[in-house]
Amino acid sequence: MVEKKIPGIGRKKDDFSLFYTKYNNVKTADVALDLKDPIEEHHKQMLDCNLCFEDSHKKCFGSGNTNPLFMFIGDEPSEYDVQSKIFSDKVGQKIEGLIKYLSKEVNLYNNVYITNLVLCNNGNTIKCKKRLEREIGIINPKNIILLGSDVCITMMGKELQKLRLDSSLLMINKFYKTFVTYSLKELFYHNGEVKYEVKKDLDFILKNYEKSS
């Protein structure tokens, strides 16, 4: 099979360092810890969380604009992520391609928030769901993009492929317009067919996302 080359999916060698410079240059990135900031307070409370493990594992918190147009939710941080920052390993860097593709219509580099279903590598999805729901409520995004079947099952109760076949628009808590596509792992490890399907999902998002008021 000849791999289809999709604009914006994938990256040049030095794209990601530039992306992170832009992406993290938002109000939550370079400010001192302010306990009056709800998301910073939420992160602080989660530092000592041990619901999944007897000891407190290293956490990888969400990052980005705290009043975003799009909120991306991945499955779990990699071992590298918990040592550094969210979506910073080679798999996680695929998020840049998704944002770049969506930016055909709107500049998202300073208008997204990225997080994971669980805070720890190999964390418990059920126990961490309430934490994520609280994070969504604090961030209050216009649109949510769920990355992969694990996230879809936990948040929507259905597998990714079943949700992709549903032509109706999805909502979380009857309030947040929600879209689904493949996980970053699938995008990284699989062939051009997955990339082609991701492109279709992104095109659907561009036609249906909730615009800024």
pTM for the model stands at 0.78
* Alpha carbon 80 to chain centroid, angstroms: 17
Tell me, what's the pLDDT at 54? 53
44-100: per-residue pLDDT in tens?
A: 878 777 777 655 567 888 899 999 999 999 998 877 666 667 888 888 888 999 999
Q: What is the mean pLDDT of residues 156-170?
A: 83
Helix, strand, coil percentages for the chain (3-state, nearest 5): 40, 10, 45
Which residue type, as a one-letter code, is found at position 48? D
**Ranges 58-72, 75-89, 157-171, 177-191: which has the least confidence:** 75-89
Percent of the chain's residues with pLDDT above 90: 34
Q: List the domains of the chain with CATH numbers.
A: 15-208 (3.40.470.10)
Q: What is the dihedral of CA 151, 147, 197, 166, to 10 degrees?
A: 40
| Beta-sheet pairing, 176-181 with 143-147 | parallel
Q: What is the mean pLDDT of residues 163-174?
A: 76
Average pLDDT value over all residues in the chain: 77
Tell me, what's the pLDDT at 183? 93
Q: What is the mean pLDDT of residues 131-146?
A: 93
For residue 15, the tally of other CB atoms under 10 A from its CB is 14
Tokens of 111: 């208008």
